[in-house]
Structure 1
């Protein structure tokens, strides 16, 4: 079989540039087991692509996260993913003989030569952005003004790549408990960046922001960057104010999403609800702990309004929980003695519709999700009362259903026990684990007990 032609290699090379790293690894393993000259040629191309990406990850490490959007949705400085391979090709082709230095097995912080080569390639990348903008970031009929602005931002970021590489080594310590020397190094780094470009300080924090999984931790870096940055009056007037504004904007966006969760939704909202509530609580808590917010200042008012808004949203939603449980646990009045009656499970009623079950799940998920965040939002008292009330109500209802099943009063045992299982899952949503285990244990042991007369009739001695 003939080898790959030049045209085929060119097409495959373009395709491989767009393949994610995980898929590239799978392809490499699969093609390596295929026979034929073309398979061998393709395997070599895949190996070369993997090596190229590994080198790129080392050289562009300070800016690599900026070529994808933040998973938490917080606004940040990002660049199109398609720019990355073109920029790497343009930068690395200037001095290809240096690329072998990036194949050293030692970490870059322990290898001065590798670090110097990586920084040199970043300088070449900044020059490539300025000299070959159409090659690095071609205009495809989109927003030309945004493209030109992005090119300028990209070049300036690569101007700071060497200093960012050095500063990122202390990032884990800076967001935890930095020493005095580490704080001094950060402030010196911010000052040196400001001497390279006018907005060098905020731009360096922007680069560090891309490496933070928790967006609210950028507040600690902002505060550490200056002695007076913890005060709202000073910070709100500085160029660092954008980070706080972005976090507050994302809090408001997530609060709007929380308020949009309505009972009866088809999709399970659990993970989304829990993530949004936890994120808002952590971010507002970090704002309180890190910044000295003025209660009458703009940020202080926004934070307070955000708490009031989410507190009101959760309170209104959770107060409708009793009605949702009414549909999930149908009841009827039964006579006890004389004219006295009590509420008992209506086991002859139709099974709760899916919409009713989903409505209860949404509200119970909300109740469970605010367990750790209720104190931040100011609704801990309401949460505790509701958890106790729901747990007691569901437990009593389950006991009555199991007693009816054991007594043989349930028209359909399977349906009744399925309802108990549904209620046990509901208890798990509010972290009432012990009550849920008890309900399942009782349901597992439940079953209609034969009467004494029927037992005697089937007894051999009675015969």
Structure 2
């Protein structure tokens, strides 16, 4: 295969250097089987070089790496290109130090603690950003507030010292760990009066759930009251979580069943997150029911329960639309259960709506009991199963005998009903229904 022209290789190099980490990993995997020669080998070399470069960069600039992504409103963040541009600038102004740091980015050196050169390079970057005469950082200044980024880099040594302890701080805080957190916060405040809250924000970016930073705040401030916290320099963290709770409630109230299973699961996961966030508040902060945050938390808890119950109650009607029935007789009472109506092909739009509603209910199992609407969920599931069980028996009878409807349609509706009962019961029950359907067809 002919070699790639130089100008085209440069275009590929630019694409590789600007590709997101996930895309780069996919490229590396796709090119892993490329030979040692040919055009693909050249591309693989570019990808491997960029992967190695990012490994070094992400170790040295580790404290700010999770800041260079899109984060929630109010969270400290910088455009994604900032990371690579800071790294390029460091290579220009401190090439020998960068080479020294790169040589220490191996498992042996990292196991023995963070090499001092890592923090020195972060300080060098901070100084370069603050120096308007340093042209190497001009491209970074064009993307963000240089002073804000410089302060984050200046805090790198403190941040880096906290990162190995962070998981312990948010999992099981002890007096000793609380003391260490307070020391780190105090050291940050010595750099700048607003550096303490900034340090907490940076640390929150390193957590899988950034709202768990409340546990560190609680340790630093010795479990403050909501009145005190709501008027302190770190009040934005609480306000941010409350805003996220409010948004989650609105998403559950407004999400469209037509969006399908994924939308239902995501809405329920939002309800689970709200339960965890409210619990986190109650454990980390001395909440007063009449306090500025206590009132809002109580209201959110009630609103969330009402929103979930309302959406669960809508599931029975949606299920009926996906699995239509007809009255047994003209004298049947209104609301009485009918028999399967096997006239038309299953409606994919109605099936998708039912999948969304049922997935929402199924996913709520992780939080419903503790959040106060477990009883409502159990009643809804009982109602849904009381609709599904006789429907499945009716359709099985038609599939076996051909009496009362089209047997081919019956098989299709059986598969749909089996998919639904996987949500209201479990996959094992759904598999039993499918086996019974297969046996009915073979009979």
In structure 1, the residue corresponding to 2:414 is in which secondary structure?
A: helix
The counterpart of 1:276, out of the listed 270, 285, 290, is 270
Q: Does 1:311 align with 2:305?
A: yes
Given that 2:289 and 2:295 are in contact with CA atoms closer than 8 Å, whether structure 1 keeps it comes out as: yes
In structure 1, the residue corresponding to 2:62 is in which secondary structure?
A: coil
Hey, what does 2:349 align to over in structure 1? 355
Distance of 1:31 and 1:329 partners within structure 2: 49
> How many equivalent residue pairs?
435
Distance of 1:332 and 1:3 partners within structure 2: 68
Hey, what does 1:65 align to over in structure 2? 66
In structure 2, the residue corresponding to 1:237 is in which secondary structure?
A: coil
Distance of 1:137 and 1:65 partners within structure 2: 22
Shift of 1:60: 0.4
Hey, what does 1:126 align to over in structure 2? 126
Q: Does 1:178 align with 2:178?
A: no
Hey, what does 1:427 align to over in structure 2? 421
Q: Does 1:322 align with 2:316?
A: yes
TM-score relative to the length of structure 2: 0.86
Shift of 1:160: 0.6
Distance of 1:192 and 1:417 partners within structure 2: 69
In structure 1, the residue corresponding to 2:233 is in which secondary structure?
A: coil
**Residues 312, 27 of structure 1: alpha-carbon distance in 2 compared, 3 angstrom cutoff:** closer
Task: Structure 2: state its 5+ residue gaps.
Answer: none
Given that 1:55 and 1:102 are in contact with CA atoms closer than 8 Å, whether structure 2 keeps it comes out as: yes
Given that 1:391 and 1:435 are in contact with CA atoms closer than 8 Å, whether structure 2 keeps it comes out as: no
In structure 1, the residue corresponding to 2:326 is in which secondary structure?
A: strand
Shift of 1:124: 0.7
Hey, what does 2:83 align to over in structure 1? 84
Given that 2:401 and 2:407 are in contact with CA atoms closer than 8 Å, whether structure 1 keeps it comes out as: no
**Residues 126, 13 of structure 1: alpha-carbon distance in 2 compared, 3 angstrom cutoff:** farther
Hey, what does 2:153 align to over in structure 1? 158
Q: What does the per-residue CA deviation read over 1:345-376, in whole Å, with 9 as the maximum and x for residues that have no partner?
A: 24443234233223322222222222222234
Shift of 1:285: 2.3
- Structure with higher Rg: it is 1
Task: Structure 1: state its 5+ residue gaps.
Answer: 450-463
Shift of 1:415: 1.0
Distance of 1:179 and 1:154 partners within structure 2: 32
| 1:203-218 equivalent positions in 2, closer than 5 A | 203-218=198-213
Q: Does 1:196 align with 2:191?
A: yes
Given that 1:77 and 1:206 are in contact with CA atoms closer than 8 Å, whether structure 2 keeps it comes out as: yes
Shift of 1:168: 0.9
Distance of 2:319 and 2:24 partners within structure 1: 50
| 1:12-91 equivalent positions in 2, closer than 5 A | 14-24=14-24, 26=27, 29=31, 33=35, 35=37, 46-70=47-71, 73=72, 75-91=74-90
Distance of 1:364 and 1:89 partners within structure 2: 51
TM-score relative to the length of structure 1: 0.83
